[in-house]
Structure 1
Amino acid sequence: MQSIAALFNEVSERLELTWFAGQDGAFRILAKSRAASADLVGHLNPIHSTRIQIIGKAELAYFDWLTEEKRLEYLNDFLTYGEPPAIMVGDKLLPPDFLVGWCNTHAIPLFHSPESAADLIDYLRVYFNRMFAEQCTRHGVLMDVLGVGVLICGESGLGKSELALELISRGHGLVADDAVELLRTAPDYIEGRCPSLLQNLLEVRGIGLLDIKTIFGETAVRRKIKLRLIAQLIKRSELEEHYERLPSQTLTEEILGVDVRKVVLPVAAGRNLAVLLEAAVRSTVMQLRGINTLKDFMERQRLAMEQHNQYPLPTQSGQSDI
């Protein structure tokens, strides 16, 4: 949940908001339950009175056309269907006096912004979509490898942080270590980010906490990234007997209802996991572009077998065909 006062503090600078009236309604709550409908903000409409109401040139022109009695009747319709959490006037228009007085009377926050009404709606819908997004926290290290968001996970002690440090030294970026916040900001989009408390920090056994931004520079850290690949580290001795070296189907893992591609990297002495993970990322990028090396190989093998059956190799004289 978030109050109107908190919303104002977060977006006032970006939208250049001025609080005109209704300061007594500062602690009206934007409940998460309202996010069940993406319609948390929209043009002035008493039927959808429980959303933030945006007023632009068309709405103010309509008010100018109404008589004073009709204006009051129209505004009071909002109280019938449910009070709006706030009202914003855009298009560089000042709120009219009758609206200021009505908002003060009913403690409904009234804001002014020089942004257009359409831009206010677009910005706030994106903001609310992120604020009320379904989310979870996963243990692991989230990295930006070649522009691809990779979540490195596995049991403690397998070397996730050491692998991340090696990748950072090779020019890739750290997003989050230990606690990775994942948000579903779109139907098929999982965004990963770092809690503010752990920003830029990487914990490595034997060394302690490292401030990656201070040590490696600004380009070694990222604020957020789209999750595209999960890299599961596993002890080689614990691999299942039916583990496929060449899986015919792409491995996936479901996170927040979205299937994310997955690779399993066995951990053993002498294996360069950083190189393996880079190769896995490059392979993932190729697959996302529609290039599947395994399918290409299987097709090549099929053609070779057909050619062999059509033109069998001649047998040497004196030798059996068996």
Structure 2
Amino acid sequence: MKQKFTVLDLLSQELKEHDVLELKCIAGRKGLIRVIEVPNINRPGLALSGFFESFAYKRIQIFGRGEHAYLRKLEEEGRYENVRKIFSYEIPCVIFTHGLTPPEFFVSIAEESGCPVLQTQLPSATFTSRILRVLNNIFAPREVVHGVLIEVFGIGVLLLGESGVGKSEAALELLERGHRLVADDAVEIRCVAGNYLLGTSANRLLGHHMEIRGLGIINVTHLFGVGAIRDEKRIQLVVHLEQWDPEKEYDRLGSQEKTRDILGVKVPCVEIPIKPGRNIPILIETAAMNERLKQMGVHSSREFNEQVMKWLESENVRTIYLHKNHME
């Protein structure tokens, strides 16, 4: 069962840099346990004017300068009925931007209804973009897979395979070659915006540790430095490691572009068979560089096939031409 996300959880988020919301509660603290069900916001201008059809009350309500000025007008006229009606709905919380302070009557009604009132110093446009990004990240579909996520030449590579196939050992060699570890063993994958897969460690405390059979647990940060790790990375390529099967026919030209479905997103996938003498880290590096080329519009296998077809066509034409001249 998915854990409920409350207003208090929103206030407790450890956000960094461009995601900082600068939120604080200024009223209705007893309502901080209210659940946020919808990863979206609403500007309640129409509701303040008395139009409540299609009122998106399950969303976080944002009060900017326009709504704040209208509240001041309602206060001067002594008209509070629309505000009372707004708080009669089970809205999760209201947030005032620009560091605006709500009128006393508004705070009083919010306290009575048990609805939390929050405040941020950020302007409405900035705050809106940030909170939507934060909520989309929090409510994103997610799953945990057994594998290793590593950044290779800027490409997020998810190493999958049976236990003991050598995923961590391959990742360790890639770290030695200057690449960066995101997560080992348990990778949490989130689907953001419907088509963007972000991977991180399922356990943030143990995320930058690796289990190497024969060595035990190693601390990647201490061994390779902070330049060898990162907290999260977009997954752009899946590399499936498997023991070499002599009965299986492996793709030798790369013309069969395989994908793996993760949370409804199809990710390019390559299968690398393992047997003595194969340098797996170099193969993973090559696969990552080849994926970068594909993203730039360069498909080596397609170009090879096109060149072969052109050569065959030219040879065929030449044969027909020579045969015709010989007959004459």
Offset of 1:67 from its aligned partner?
5.3
RMSD across aligned positions (CA): 2.1
1:32-88 alpha-carbon deviations (Å, 9 max, x no partner):
xx33xx4x32222541222211111100111222356764211122245x2211111
Alignment of 1:287 onto 2:294: yes
Secondary structure of 1:128 counterpart: helix
1:75 to 68, 77, 83: 83
TM-score with structure 2 setting the length: 0.88
CA contact (8 A) 2:11 2:24 kept: no
Secondary structure of 1:178 counterpart: strand
Corresponding residue for 2:10? 7
2:205 to 191, 197, 202: 197
Secondary structure of 2:80 counterpart: helix
Corresponding residue for 1:159? 166
Instruction: Give 1:270's aligned amino acid.
Output: G
TM-score with structure 1 setting the length: 0.89
Aligned residues: 307
Corresponding residue for 2:214? 206
Rounded to whole Å, the distance in 2 between the matches of 1:131 and 1:143 is 23
Alignment of 1:233-272 (within 5 A): 233-237=241-245, 240-241=248-249, 243-272=250-279
Q: Which moved more, 1:245-254 or 1:129-138?
A: 245-254
Distance 1:110 1:239, change over 3 A: farther
CA contact (8 A) 1:252 1:261 kept: yes
Rounded to whole Å, the distance in 2 between the matches of 1:161 and 1:217 is 18
Rounded to whole Å, the distance in 1 between the matches of 2:231 and 2:15 is 22
CA contact (8 A) 1:143 1:149 kept: yes
Offset of 1:11 from its aligned partner?
6.5
Offset of 1:120 from its aligned partner?
2.1
Could you list the runs of 4 or more consecutive aligned residues of structure 1 that deviate by over 6 angstroms after TM superposition? none
Offset of 1:139 from its aligned partner?
0.5
Corresponding residue for 1:43? 43
Alignment of 1:18-33 (within 5 A): 18-30=24-36
**Consecutive unaligned residues in structure 2, runs of 5 or more:** 48-54, 324-328
User: % of aligned pairs identical?
Assistant: 34
CA contact (8 A) 2:21 2:131 kept: no
Rounded to whole Å, the distance in 2 between the matches of 1:239 and 1:72 is 78
CA contact (8 A) 1:54 1:120 kept: no
Distance 1:276 1:123, change over 3 A: same
